Structure 1
């Protein structure tokens, strides 16, 4: 849990709307291979190479635990995988988020791109009764009181 907190620049409870397919175009700069597929290589990028299929959810903020957001804000949240040029791309062990279910998210918010969930599924917790349960393997969970104490 501490690793999620330290990596996230935004921790919010949200309600998600239905997903839409989108494409993440790399900037070909920086060392993050999710944003720059040529990071660490000697290859010269060709415009359009490295486009990644993503699924984007519109997240309506219902509580802010840490970071720069306000209740009622709308944030685009992306997950790797989706449909690109008629082909569906899926990533192993990445569970789809559920629209309409209160969800606690630990997010990285890069400029000019949708927010990404820290640790993929590990940083997404859906409300189940009175407990937030991580979508990732490992059984991480938080009570509502623990979630409210994050900030």
Structure 2
């Protein structure tokens, strides 16, 4: 009889979140009223050692994903907020219960949506970071340049 035992070694992540950009996909959509929208779907990997990511439905006004949009105008990139009101911050779902301190490794997708009328630009990129419930801020990462065609 052969008996074997092994332990699974879990990765060690620090309590501060860490993000890694994966992709950005621009596409067109419509809102509930049929108005045209421009959407940038950001995908990134999220790592957090103590799992305290997201606020969920209990506190929907507590943002934990923060982004800044840069648009190309006359060949130079500018902050979108220089031209229109820009609120591209979001609330992530709470991935673990408050008393569950296990690490998180997750692929996250966020759709950043603007009305085509208020976002007449065709070339942009996104800079973004996350904040956990303890207030720890991740590194900042940026997307590739996206072009709406």
TM superposition score normalised by structure 2: 0.33
Higher relative CO (CA 8 A, sep ≥ 6), structure 1 or 2? 2
Higher alpha-carbon Rg: 2
Which structure features the higher share of helix residues? 1
